[in-house]
Amino acid sequence: MALNILVIDPDEEWLHTASGFFKEQMYTVKAVNNGKDAQLALYNEKFFAVVLNYSVKNHSGSQVLKFIRTNHPSQKVVLVFENEGICGGEEGKEKYKKMGANEVAIKPFELSELADLLEGHQSLGDLVGALPRKKGTSEEVEVKEADDDFTGIRIDEFYSSQAVLFDVFVKLGSGRYVKILHAGDNFSKERIDKYKNDKGVEYLYFHKKDRRKYIQFNNFIAKKLINTNNISGATRINQLKNVTDKYLEEVYTQGMKPQVIDQGKEVVNNIFNFVEKQDDLHKLLKDFEAFDPKLYEHSFMVSVFATSIIKQFEWQSQITIEATALACLFHDIGKMKIPREILDLRPVEMDDEQMEIYKQHPEFGVELVENNRMINNSVKQIIMQHHEAYNGTGFPFGIKSSKILTLANIVCIADDFVHIMLDEELSPTDALKKMITDRDQVARYNSMILENFIKVFVDPSKLKDQNKQKVG
């Protein structure tokens, strides 16, 4: 059960490529090469979005567009042009938008750019409204399936759309589950409540193969929570954590496939928005109760702290924050190439040979993300240098001071901090104290970065007061 897209283009080869691409993105695709079949499809089926080539024949592109606007006024349409000339530049774009195109795209473009246009302004209502729906709710069914096929989510943190996007289960025992929500059904809050309140169930499960749907849907929810007032910071960061955890699971099991990395874009955009909009971030990051590090994926924590540090710098921008967040999600990906028995040791327990292998993980990481269009050079450099230290004591190259990318040194401090907090089970405040009172530790970082790291935990309004006093 997926979202349905109609693609209309006279070029069969392009149609084929585009269909393949969108199917990988979990859409179902109807592809037609002429306007008449397009109208027939629009008459018979409901579509989440329509991609219409203006040069289509029998009926023409403009006829099809007119048909859509008359019969399906709220249908999202991306109008595609073979070249700039046919569209007629910026003026032409405006003209076609007035005629009813929501977006205009001119070939050649990357299919992922087209996907961005389709999804960019999409609201939750659009996503859910376009779902094929069954009437009512199917019966609960008990199934026997391998535990390894499932992934869990806390019942309190489960969000669903009105139509259920994927099958949802409760675990009865090893290899035994009961399907309580069926994909395509109406969502039943009663069933969830029954298990939660009457039976004390804490976790819900879904199939790992549905993880990408989970991530896409929950990214929407995260965006919504971040942009809605009166939602607590803890709720927001928990939602962000859930999506990111599942995203990292996907990355670590599926490998660095382009479509997997692409999904990270939404994740890091939400991290950016969270860090940007959360006024009491300092409180949240300091407060052990709301932010229990043991429950968090290491890479997610590193990305939250690293981006919070960047926010303290004047030169910060959405681009740097999102690139760094992405680098943080992948910073230890190179560990996938290191044998388990080495990873299970703490660095102090490793012999020289094991240590040498461990120290290669930044380089392995860069090899794994190479050749992906989302991964630019700074992301690669951050991954490569996240263990380099300002005083030259780091690895793999032992480079020093200005040779190290500032963003990489920021990720280094965030990574060290998260490790101290987790390994020694310290609260954020105690871990901070421990770090800044240890000379060797402090020497690992550029002093500006260290200063801004400390500011992460300080109320920004107090910082302003301090500056005023200094001036006075």
Residues that bind Fe ion (CB under 5 A): 332, 415
Residue placing its CB nearer to Fe ion in the complex, 202 or 423? 423
The nearest distance, CB 268 to Fe ion, in angstroms, is 17
What is the 3-class SS of 96-131, one letter each residue?
HHHCCCCEEEECCCCHHHHHHHHHHCCCHHHHHHCC
Residue placing its CB nearer to Fe ion in the complex, 185 or 245? 245
The nearest distance, CB 51 to Fe ion, in angstroms, is 41
Residue placing its CB nearer to Fe ion in the complex, 14 or 358? 358
Q: How far is CA 313 from CA 141, 306, 434, 452, in A?
A: 54, 12, 24, 7
Pair of tokens at residue 370 = 């190479």
106: β partners: 81
The nearest distance, CB 151 to Fe ion, in angstroms, is 22
What is the SS3 assignment for 226? helix
Helices 318-330 & 258-277 angle (0-180, nearest 10): 130
Pair of tokens at residue 49 = 């979005």
The nearest distance, CB 418 to Fe ion, in angstroms, is 7
The nearest distance, CB 302 to Fe ion, in angstroms, is 6
Containing 176, the helix (H) or strand (E) segment is strand 176-181
Residue placing its CB nearer to Fe ion in the complex, 204 or 408? 408
Residue placing its CB nearer to Fe ion in the complex, 75 or 385? 385
Type of residue at 356 = E
d(CA 72, CA 60): 18
The nearest distance, CB 332 to Fe ion, in angstroms, is 4
Query: For the chain, percent helix, then strand, then coil, each to nearest 5?
Result: 55, 10, 30
Residue placing its CB nearer to Fe ion in the complex, 119 or 415? 415
* Paired sense of beta strands 203-207 and 150-154, if any: antiparallel
Type of residue at 79 = L
Residue placing its CB nearer to Fe ion in the complex, 195 or 390? 390
